Structure 1
């Protein structure tokens, strides 16, 4: 009995001991990512697995690079852009506007999908609720966002981290267990690693959305503040590196599991997902009620784990630009997060399709990505800042490749949006 208790304590300690990488997972795997993976898996099978793999690889290197820069210089990202890069003030302001716009758009879809999922779970047990679907979904959205805002006002970094750890753990387990029940053929997984873009309407947009959600600029820019919030210094360089690798690996594993479940259950049925309700009607006959409940629980956890970081992003970036320090008790923090909460209610109020909104919002995230990569390249190769700490050729080479990849995807995203509108 005591052995079981000590083992469970060790497992709990390991989960709660996760570093700032948990925020990387929170930012990256939200309902935006889940939606993109479900739509991709149900529509194209495993064809876009290569995009996910590349995005996660480059993300891991960028998370490491931004964290390492902070450990060496003691400075955060946008504050450093402003101080050390020519034209850095303008670059920093463009990044703040671009990322806040992308994340707040994403927030609308996240809250809409989360409220819809809670409604669908309730409707399974209380079918009469369908008569007042709009009103109940809106009420759920208001309750969720008010609770999240309340948690933001009382929380500190460690508190945010613990809440995210719980949501992300539930999410990861839910999707991975679902994968054992519904999975694609190994040959489909292998083919998915060969680069190709679906030559159909919406294919380009989905590729851009994939990168927008897995190579999220917000993840890299917020990394320095979370590293500082954790209290890490030069003695933690090895820990910072492991944390970045683990974050990238988990993002790939969970995202690939979601895509694989959607591919295994829906792709061969010829049932692409376009609405939240589609996930209920298509998954239940194939996967059964238990797998469906697990999958829904995972998607809801993904949504709730993303609302937190999305509400935090604008005050984080602004605090970074101003001083490099985040004060969660400041008037500025409370006002900006309150505006974000009101913004999040737009999709539920107008009853818009949250899945479509979510895909479009993810595409916007790719446009500031090249600026974010150029910024860290310039900082890491600035001898005045780095002093005796030279950036390796491998890191520089991977960052340059990630910049080329980001530019290509941004161009792809522009053409996709032009076709959409």
Structure 2
């Protein structure tokens, strides 16, 4: 049976409101998630508000599970996956390599578009390259406090802009409350799953345990702190994701205005806000768009690089605390380079079809993979008995598995046909 790390004697742990939870939430909620929620509001009004809240709860459960495993065992989530068999390596290895290459290009394209919308004197490609290099510089040293402060500033900008936009639209509180009642409009099942599944990240959820370690929260003495941190982070996330749904419902749904998908939709929304409330609101919203895309980029450049360093070091037989498996090590920096430099070519010449197909297939399977493996790991002697799942957590993780499994089937069907 695994033994929990023994906390060293001393005073109770100190913490502040800004912790790894806000980092993982800020990284996970990018422009694509915000626009998906806005589009849901524009199509169905407040009918899917309950799905946004359900999505936040599901992510709280998943992130708490990843954090609890790390604190209870002193091991990383990849070491937990490895304990289930080598099949996890055959999935995770190709996934993190392909994902990083494709995501690097997509993230730079998104930030490039956001910056171009504000400062059109450079091209989208040039701004994308600048943002990628800026992300590289911010996280290259592996110093967590610098990274956390940068993410905090971006979260504040995201929060201010989305809340301001929601307040300006003067939401109907009575209709907002009706959206809390679970209801699936005709033909909206995939939208419900997408909204619930898209709130708050995918692979970056698994980075939570690594950020706990970087923060210095590394024993069971921090278990309560971790849970509060996680809950507060997703409460904040929920507020500004709900704010985007309000904007969609009040500004777009009532007027029958359609906007584009993906990052382009954020620019379209900024244009609509500018026409309705003045150019100052358009510029303010675009600043929030920049913050959303850049926070995701910087978070991935740090968090997923930590995961890759752990994976590469483990596969080469390096000890758990070997420098090469930690922030600032050789594998960490190699993956930052992989996220930044090779994708610039893809950003310039376009996306190869077969690579995108592999990215889509492996990415669709990640959330079911995470929820299933957490169910497995956290109900066995891989974790000390006192830190295993309770009935409620098991029920919620099962619901997560079903939800993300259905989304995966839909995504795979779309890729194949």
Deviation at 1:388, TM superposition (A): 4.5
Question: Aligned ranges for residues 53-132 of structure 1 at < 5 Å?
Answer: 53-82=53-82, 84-85=83-84, 87=85, 89-98=86-95, 101-102=98-99, 104-123=101-120, 129=121
Which residue is equivalent to 1:413? Answer: 411
Residue deviations 1:338-378, cap 9 Å, x none?
121135436752589xxxxx9x9899744211111121112
Q: 1:342 to 1:263 in 2, by over 3 A?
A: farther
Q: What is the rounded CA distance, in whole Å, between the counterparts of 2:345 and 2:246 in structure 1? A: 31
Q: 1:78 to 1:231 in 2, by over 3 A?
A: same
Question: Unaligned regions of 5+ residues in structure 2, if any?
Answer: 1-13
Q: 1:172 to 1:397 in 2, by over 3 A?
A: same
Which residue is equivalent to 1:247? Answer: 233
Q: 1:49 to 1:415 in 2, by over 3 A?
A: farther
Question: Aligned ranges for residues 267-278 of structure 1 at < 5 Å?
Answer: 267-274=253-260, 275-276=264-265, 277-278=267-268
Residue deviations 1:83-128, cap 9 Å, x none?
x32x2x22244134335545654443332232222222235xxxxx
* Residue pair 1:20, 1:230 contacting (<8 A) in 2 also: yes
Which residue is equivalent to 1:18? Answer: 18
Q: What is the rounded CA distance, in whole Å, between the counterparts of 1:51 and 1:160 in structure 2? A: 31
Alignment pair present for 1:289 and 2:279: yes
Residue deviations 1:147-180, cap 9 Å, x none?
2112222341222111111111221122112211
The DSSP-based 3-state class of the residue aligned with 1:240 is helix
Deviation at 1:240, TM superposition (A): 0.7
Which residue is equivalent to 1:303? Answer: 293
Deviation at 1:136, TM superposition (A): 2.0
Between Structure 1 and Structure 2, the one with more helix by share is: 1
Which stretch of the first structure deviates more once superposed, 278-287 or 302-311? 278-287
Q: 1:145 to 1:395 in 2, by over 3 A?
A: same
Which stretch of the first structure deviates more once superposed, 287-296 or 207-216? 207-216
Deviation at 1:222, TM superposition (A): 0.9
TM-score by length of 1: 0.81
Deviation at 1:67, TM superposition (A): 0.9
The DSSP-based 3-state class of the residue aligned with 1:154 is coil
Give the root-mean-square deviation of aligned CA atoms: 3.0
Which residue is equivalent to 1:199? Answer: 187
Deviation at 1:77, TM superposition (A): 0.8
Q: 1:389 to 1:305 in 2, by over 3 A?
A: closer
* Residue pair 2:25, 2:200 contacting (<8 A) in 1 also: no
Which stretch of the first structure deviates more once superposed, 112-121 or 250-259? 112-121
Residue deviations 1:191-210, cap 9 Å, x none?
5443325628xx73x55543
Q: What is the rounded CA distance, in whole Å, between the counterparts of 1:407 and 1:195 in structure 2? A: 20
Q: What is the rounded CA distance, in whole Å, between the counterparts of 1:362 and 1:53 in structure 2? A: 26
Which residue is equivalent to 2:139? Answer: 152
Which residue is equivalent to 1:6? Answer: none
Which residue is equivalent to 2:213? Answer: 228
Question: Unaligned regions of 5+ residues in structure 1, if any?
Answer: 1-13, 124-128, 130-134, 353-357
Alignment pair present for 1:170 and 2:157: yes
The DSSP-based 3-state class of the residue aligned with 1:286 is helix
Deviation at 1:68, TM superposition (A): 1.3
Q: What is the rounded CA distance, in whole Å, between the counterparts of 1:179 and 1:154 in structure 2? A: 38
Number of residue pairs aligned between Structure 1 and Structure 2: 384
Residue deviations 1:5-33, cap 9 Å, x none?
xxxxxxxxx99751111222122211221
Deviation at 1:416, TM superposition (A): 4.0
Deviation at 1:71, TM superposition (A): 1.2
* Residue pair 1:91, 1:371 contacting (<8 A) in 2 also: no
Deviation at 1:244, TM superposition (A): 1.1
